[in-house]
């Protein structure tokens, strides 16, 4: 049975990264995001078909996340060299182009395993998205089949709901009131 992650401290990680400009390599650790919100998302493989639609959509919305004091980190089991090549491949050739956040390499698959998204028999991750608060608590997770992309708008909505500090009813949107319990 899978272990619950929401409401607990997010599993720690350190991974090598390819920068969003496709020019450099670096490292990312959970501790690098202390004091900020983090959207950590896993995708199956570089140079696939659904993945670039999600990654570029998140990159286009990066300024909206930054306004909410939130960083984004993408993760797959591919190497930093593959990430760099994909970033440097033109969009019309199934590439990503410049991104506003890094892509991390989970070559050992340990981070995908720790977050419960690794498909062991295939050696790739499911589409998992996690929102981690500034204290490192995992507040939200959504995992879906690899055939279906995620929603940037829903991720922003949930992030804003979490940041509202109150109880948010079904279909809550920014500007809506939180529930008042008497």
Distance CA 17, CA 134 (A): 21
Closest CA to 131 of 176, 61, 65, 46: 65
Spatial strand order of the sheet with 25-29 comes to: 25-29, 14-18, 103-105, 70-76, 37-42, 127-132, 138-144
**N-term to C-term CA, the chain:** 37
168 is catalytic: no
In 36-182, which residue ranges form alpha helices assigned H by DSSP?
Answer: 51-60, 62-67, 80-87, 110-114, 152-163
Query: Which of these is catalytic: 51, 105, 131, 158?
Result: 51
Let me know: does 37 contact 70? Beta carbons within 8 Å.
yes
Closest CA to 107 of 128, 69, 80: 80
Residues labelled catalytic:
51
């Amino acid at each position: 049975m899978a272990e619950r992650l929401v409401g607990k401290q997010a599993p720690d990680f350190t991974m090598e990264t390819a920068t969003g400009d496709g020019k450099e390599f670096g490292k990312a650790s959970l501790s690098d995001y202390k004091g900020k919100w983090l959207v950590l998302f896993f995708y199956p493989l570089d140079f696939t078909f659904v993945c670039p639609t999600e990654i570029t959509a998140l990159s286009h919305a990066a300024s909206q996340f930054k306004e909410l004091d939130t960083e984004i980190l993408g993760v797959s089991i591919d190497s930093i060299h593959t990430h760099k090549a994909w970033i440097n491949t033109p969009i019309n050739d199934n590439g990503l182009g410049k991104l506003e956040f890094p892509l991390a390499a989970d070559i050992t698959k340990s981070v995908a395993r720790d977050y419960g998204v690794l498909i062991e028999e295939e050696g790739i991750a499911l589409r998992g998205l996690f929102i981690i608060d500034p204290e490192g608590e995992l507040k939200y997770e959504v995992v879906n089949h690899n055939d279906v992309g995620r929603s940037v708008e829903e991720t922003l909505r949930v992030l804003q709901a979490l940041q509202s500090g109150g109880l948010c009813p079904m279909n809550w949107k920014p500007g809506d009131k939180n529930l008042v319990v008497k």
